[in-house]
Chains A and B, each alone.
Chain A
Amino acid sequence: MAPHRTISRRRLLGASLGGAGSALLGLSGCGTGSGSISAGTDHLTIWYWNGSLSDKLLATSARGVPGVPGLKVKGAPIAGDYRGRLRTVMAARAYVPDLACLNSPIGDYFPDENEFLDLRDLGADAVENEYLAWKWKSCVSPSGRMIGFPLDAGPTALYYRRDLFEAAGLPTEPADVAEATSTWEKYLDVGKTLKAKAPGHPYLISQIAYVFRMALYQSPKQFVDADNHFIGDQEHVKRAWDLAVETYRQGLSARVLDGTPDFNSALGGGRIASMNTAVWYINGLKDTAPKTAGKWRLTSMPGGPGNYGGSYVGITRYCRDPEGAFAFLKWLLGPANQLKSYQEMALFPTTPAAYDQPAMRRPDPFFGGQIPVDVFGPAAEKAPVIFFSAYENTANTPVYQELTNVETLGKNPDKAWRDAMDASRTALAQRGVS
């Protein structure tokens, strides 16, 4: 009895160790093939985060991409830290998807542009004229490599509360409001009237960072240029800063940070009379302040159109079938399917031909029956071409932090500006940008 038990225990140990060992070997064995997660299967794999691609279109392509015989592409929704996971598999050079959605700013990937295939080599130029020119240009790295394909756009608009504007005796219809707020200075004047006359003395905006961000996005130049020089201390940034500080000085900001309970209650309770943000915030607004339905309107943003956010799809260098992957992209992100994605997922098309289609021209009761694309379409077509460097976040983080300090802690704005510039320069110097 006793010897028998010893042997069986040892066998058990041996079997479990052997099992673990062969599992490890098996894992690494898979990875060494081509680095692609779809190696050994009959389909290509595209990674996306929930809401970034149409589930219906992906269901179609999993059965077979229409017009491309034998090609199947399956979508893999990645939950949690999407960028972190994508970068992890790229660092490991194993289990990399054939295609991957890339969120803006795409400049994050420019230093590692060779991880992605140049879409121009695959014939992207042939469809260039179907897409928004600024979006197309933003896919191209400083060295001229096109690492992403346009997915959706984030044209911006002025969201405003018609009821509060009316109560303050201000213009109420979109065209008239656009006229009354055509510049940031006129917009701030409107804010003063709102605060003085509308019920509950509402604030013009939720936080001054939005004034800074949107004014800056109206400029083709940002913090770092394509030659890796710091240009964040120049007039285009200072002007946006001054506008934000002026908004604070005049007491027009509710001083609530995005997404906090205070923000939600201020928005739902009518203490914020307008917002400057992108088309993709429509759903966020509907979720946050459902009781304000019918009271909001949209019009063009003070100071001109802009774009905030919007995504891309890249083909990784591990892709098993680059031609097939590009054919899939042309199908998935062509004008017809971008229209479907807008209807299903509210992804704003990067193909202007879709803007005139009846499916996009549905009135939205949340905006009192206004047709949102009437505002966002022209904004998308006229948004400036902007270069976002890989070091943009490093450079602008201190500026956003100092704006919060001015607004929340009452820090002296001039000192805040000097501190922000010092912090930006230091952070960039560390990364070899000056």
Chain B
Amino acid sequence: MAAVAQTSSAADVTEPVRARAPRGRLRRHLPSYAAISPYYLLFAVFGAFPVGFSLYLSFQDWDGIGDMKFVGFRQYYWLLHDSVFWHALLNTFEIWFLSTVPMLLLALVLAFLLHSQTRFSAAWRVAYFIPNVTSMVAMTIVFGSVFAQAGLANSLFKAVGADGVGWLTSALGIKSAIAIMIIWRWVGYNALIFLAGLQAIPTELFEAARVDGANSRQLLFRVVVPQLRPVILFAVITSTINGLQIFTEPQVLFYSDDPGTAGGPGQEGMTIVLYLWQKSFNDLQFGYGAAMGWLLFAVIALFAIINWRLVSGSGRDDRPGIPLGKETGRGR
């Protein structure tokens, strides 16, 4: 109703002075509202509605075409008793851990190197960022041949006299292969984030440390890491969000017409989002998929709370944290 009133009063240009103040305000603000409205319209149609609909759907049994059948909490009940779901949840966290920890360490080292690099610095930064913008589907196909039994990775192992690894045929191999793909894709991105953080550190700190006789290792762990704490937390949070939604890598890596190969042998590469996709779009159990999406939401919310606690907790420690660092420096 309000919208209609707005439109008509704004469109009516010949209307005399009568309601000058509100009309003037509307007139002034209408273009602004109009300017920001496309985002909200698109978000309502493609963002908000599907979210609401999926919640509704998670209480229905629906194959996508026929009539929906209300089943109450049955989908959630089945899901909590579905061993594959729990296995997928565990897989997701294992892959997340295997990828995030080495990736952030590597990114930190890379950022440090990039920071001290003076020649071709732009070229290096672009080179490290490129994996992040390549098509993951195409890259997974390439990685598929790298990790094949007679692939590049095993050839390398054999060249140095080690045994081949069952990259795609063992639990640890599958998870490592997926983790390596994630590291390859995101390490450059995180290195650039860290680099931005590094550049914000005042050079006085470095100079002071140098004058005090700190070597590179001490610079990294005594100056850089404490100063980068908020940036590192940001990287941890974004990689948690990405890590809980791993899908493309295992999907493409084990894709075939054979239903038995989804997620790879032992379903060791089955992640939650892959299972959600398989149940919804292969088995046409959209209600089940929607319920899974909401349980995943609950898991992510849980992690958001933990993260938030960590962040706010560290925020309290942070201010006294700087003198603490100085103290340690003095102690040495």
Point out residues on A near B: beta carbons under 8 Å. Answer: 9-10, 13-14, 17, 20, 81, 84, 87-88, 90-91, 108, 111-112, 115, 209, 255-262, 265, 393-394, 396-397, 399-405, 408-409, 411, 423, 426, 430-431
User: B288 contacts A13, CB within 8 Å?
Assistant: no
Q: List 25 A-B contacts (CB under 8 A).
A: A10-B30, A13-B35, A14-B34, A81-B281, A90-B65, A91-B64, A91-B65, A112-B63, A257-B256, A257-B261, A260-B148, A262-B149, A265-B148, A265-B150, A393-B283, A397-B283, A399-B260, A400-B261, A404-B266, A405-B265, A408-B169, A409-B266, A423-B83, A423-B84, A430-B285
* Residues in A whose Cβ lies below 8 Å from that of B31: 9-10, 13
Question: Which one, A17, A255, A258, contacts B258 given CB within 8 A?
Answer: A258
User: A393 contacts B259, CB within 8 Å?
Assistant: yes
User: B260 contacts A112, CB within 8 Å?
Assistant: no
Known: A408-B169, A409-B169, A430-B78. A111 touches B260 (CB 8 A): no
A421 to chain B, nearest CB (A): 14
* Residues in B whose Cβ lies below 8 Å from that of A256: 149
Per-residue CB proximity of B166-197 to A under 8 Å, as 1/0?
A: 00111100000000000000000000000000
* Residues in A whose Cβ lies below 8 Å from that of B64: 87-88, 91
User: B265 contacts A430, CB within 8 Å?
Assistant: no
Cα distance, A9 to B32, chains bound together (Å): 11
* Residues in A whose Cβ lies below 8 Å from that of B30: 10
User: B148 contacts A262, CB within 8 Å?
Assistant: yes
Is B121 at the interface (CB under 8 A from chain A)? Answer: no
User: B34 contacts A17, CB within 8 Å?
Assistant: yes
Cα distance, A431 to B78, chains bound together (Å): 10
A394 to chain B, nearest CB (A): 6
Question: Which one, B65, B144, B267, contacts A112 given CB within 8 A?
Answer: B65
User: B35 contacts A257, CB within 8 Å?
Assistant: no
Pair count A-B, CB < 8 A: 97
Closest residue of A by beta carbon distance from B34: A13
* Residues in B whose Cβ lies below 8 Å from that of A426: 81-82
Known: A10-B31, A261-B145. A84 touches B281 (CB 8 A): yes
Is B212 at the interface (CB under 8 A from chain A)? Answer: no
Question: Which one, B144, B260, B266, contacts A209 given CB within 8 A?
Answer: B260
Known: A112-B63, A409-B170, A409-B266. A403 touches B144 (CB 8 A): no
Cα distance, A233 to B255, chains bound together (Å): 27
User: B260 contacts A400, CB within 8 Å?
Assistant: yes
User: B258 contacts A261, CB within 8 Å?
Assistant: no
* Residues in B whose Cβ lies below 8 Å from that of A409: 169-171, 265-266
Cα distance, A112 to B283, chains bound together (Å): 14
User: B282 contacts A393, CB within 8 Å?
Assistant: yes
Is B151 at the interface (CB under 8 A from chain A)? Answer: yes
Cα distance, A9 to B31, chains bound together (Å): 9
B326 to chain A, nearest CB (A): 55
| Other A-B pairs, 17, CB within 8 Å; known A88-B64, A258-B256 | A10-B30, A13-B34, A84-B281, A87-B65, A209-B260, A255-B169, A257-B258, A258-B257, A393-B259, A397-B259, A397-B260, A397-B283, A401-B259, A401-B262, A405-B265, A430-B78, A430-B288
6 closest A-B pairs by CB: A400-B260, A408-B265, A261-B148, A397-B259, A112-B65, A261-B145
Is B37 at the interface (CB under 8 A from chain A)? Answer: yes
For chain B, the count of residues having a C-beta within 8 Å of the partner chain is: 44
Q: B239-297: which residues lie under 8 A (CB-CB) from chain A?
A: 254-262, 265-267, 281-285, 288
Is B331 at the interface (CB under 8 A from chain A)? Answer: no
User: A112 contacts B66, CB within 8 Å?
Assistant: yes
Closest residue of B by beta carbon distance from A86: B65
Known: A17-B37, A91-B65, A257-B256. A262 touches B150 (CB 8 A): yes
Q: B28-62: which residues lie under 8 A (CB-CB) from chain A?
A: 30-31, 34-35, 37-38, 41
Closest residue of B by beta carbon distance from A114: B66
Closest residue of B by beta carbon distance from A255: B169
Cα distance, A91 to B286, chains bound together (Å): 12
Cα distance, A41 to B78, chains bound together (Å): 47
* Residues in A whose Cβ lies below 8 Å from that of B150: 261-262, 265
Cα distance, A402 to B266, chains bound together (Å): 8
Closest residue of A by beta carbon distance from B30: A10
B319 to chain A, nearest CB (A): 47
B173 to chain A, nearest CB (A): 11
B311 to chain A, nearest CB (A): 40
Cα distance, A423 to B83, chains bound together (Å): 9
Of listed A90, A258, A401, A409, residue having the most chain B CB within 10 A: A401
Known: A91-B64, A261-B145. A403 touches B256 (CB 8 A): no
Known: A9-B31, A10-B31, A408-B265. A260 touches B168 (CB 8 A): yes
User: B258 contacts A209, CB within 8 Å?
Assistant: yes
Cα distance, A112 to B261, chains bound together (Å): 27
User: A111 contacts B66, CB within 8 Å?
Assistant: yes
Closest residue of B by beta carbon distance from A397: B259
Closest residue of B by beta carbon distance from A394: B283
Known: A9-B31, A17-B37, A108-B284. A401 touches B260 (CB 8 A): yes
* Residues in A whose Cβ lies below 8 Å from that of B260: 209, 397, 399-404
* Residues in B whose Cβ lies below 8 Å from that of A91: 64-65
User: B148 contacts A115, CB within 8 Å?
Assistant: no
B37 to chain A, nearest CB (A): 7
User: B144 contacts A260, CB within 8 Å?
Assistant: yes
User: B65 contacts A115, CB within 8 Å?
Assistant: yes
Cα distance, A14 to B37, chains bound together (Å): 12
* Residues in A whose Cβ lies below 8 Å from that of B81: 426
Question: Which one, B78, B151, B266, contacts A405 given CB within 8 A?
Answer: B266
